[in-house]
Amino acid sequence: MEIRGNTRVFGILGHPVAHSLSPLLHNMAFENTGYPGVYIPLDVKETGPFLKKTLQNLNLGGLSVTIPHKIWAFRMADQSDALSKICGASNTLLFKEKGGKMQMEARNSDGPGAIQALRQVTSIRGKSVLICGYGGSARAIAAQLLISEKPSEIWITGRNPTRIKSFIRDLKKQFPRASIRSLDSGAAGLPGKAGKARTDVSASSKNRAGGVSRTGSSVSSRKTARKKDGPGGKSSERNLNIRSPDILIQTTPLGMTNQSASNRGSKKPEARPTGRSAKASDEDLPLNPALIQPSMTVFDIVYSPMNTPLLTLAKKRKCKIVYGYSMLLYQAVFQFRWFTGKEPPIQRWEKLLRNDLKRKNKS
């Protein structure tokens, strides 16, 4: 790579950023496309008006923004896209001169990146979508679904009913006609529609379904009855009227290396497998395993390990799957297009990401 007087400077702003693959991806793309750019890590702890002024005077081409500065990026920007306004956060800053002054424009590529990853595997319009989680990624994905894809319904599940209620209320303000509802995290499926009930509930749900309300959400697992089936009191499920979502999107940290339900929030998390796949125990899943059925597309945005417990189970049940690194890939694709107006080498990027994750998962 040659750095000349006309080389434009880009980078990733956050803290920490040493682990980021973005410099590797973008610099590879600059070289591949012949664009005169260089992409560097900017590990910055403190933010404020001083940082905006500094960035505006550096004649930057653009920045990727990661935690913990996404909210700051949105608030400091002179203008922002629709998704950033809905989320109150941005992962991209573009710098454009206007009226003799450098302006910062905030955009969010997390939502478009997730949708593009899904589109590689399935269509979305008119389908039912279940989202696990209610954080920033879930908000960006849900909003982008409603902006561009028009799913028939969106369901939100998680462990905190108050946060779910707030999450849905915020989305409904922006999309008042959208069908957005909550689902109990122990439910074995969505409430059935006429002619669409499912009767193939897996026996693996016996410890998670059966009317145990874990979130107090509007739709609980009470629609699933239990009965004794012989000596020893073994339980089986008798489905009354439920169905599977068409698409499941998992946005919580569950399944991430060193993250499980039993140690979330602990200062010293228990070690868990870091290999290419992890055994799918109920503890590592954000929902009732009976909900996972062959007709579904399952997307886990966690990318390390590549084969999370949820994706391992989904593979076993013959679902279509979307790896977490795909969202990482396509959000960077959108950023590169915004930065340069050019198309990055997507296949080379994907190979690089897969090889890097496989290497890390083996270590």
Read off the tokens for 119.
């589109």
Tell me the backbone φ, ψ of residue 282, rounded to 5 degrees: -55, -35
Task: Give the span between the Cα atoms of 300 and 126, in whole angstroms.
Answer: 21
Answer for the pair 33, 344: CB distance below 8 angstroms, yes or no.
yes
Read off the tokens for 231.
């000596």
Q: Give the position of tokens 């198309």.
A: 343
State the amino acid at position 131 in one-letter form.
Answer: I
* For the chain, counts of helices (H) and of strands (E): 10, 16
Taking each helix axis from N to C end, the angle separating 110-119 and 324-340, rounded to the nearest 10 degrees, works out to 120
Among 45, 52, 53, 70, the one annotated catalytic: 70
Instruction: Tell me the residue ranges of DSSP E strands in the chain.
Output: 8-14, 37-43, 62-65, 79-80, 92-98, 101-107, 128-132, 153-157, 180-183, 190-191, 224-228, 235-239, 242-243, 247-250, 297-300, 320-322
35: Cβ contacts below 8 Å, ≥ 6 apart: 8, 29, 340, 342
State the amino acid at position 113 in one-letter form.
Answer: G
How many other C-beta atoms lie within 10 A of the C-beta of residue 362? 9
70 part of the active site: yes
Pair type for strands 92-98 and 101-107: antiparallel
Read off the tokens for 165.
């209620």
Radius of gyration of the CA atoms of the chain, in A: 22
The Cα-based distances of 70 to 12, 40, 93 in angstroms read 11, 18, 10
Q: State the catalytic residues.
A: 70
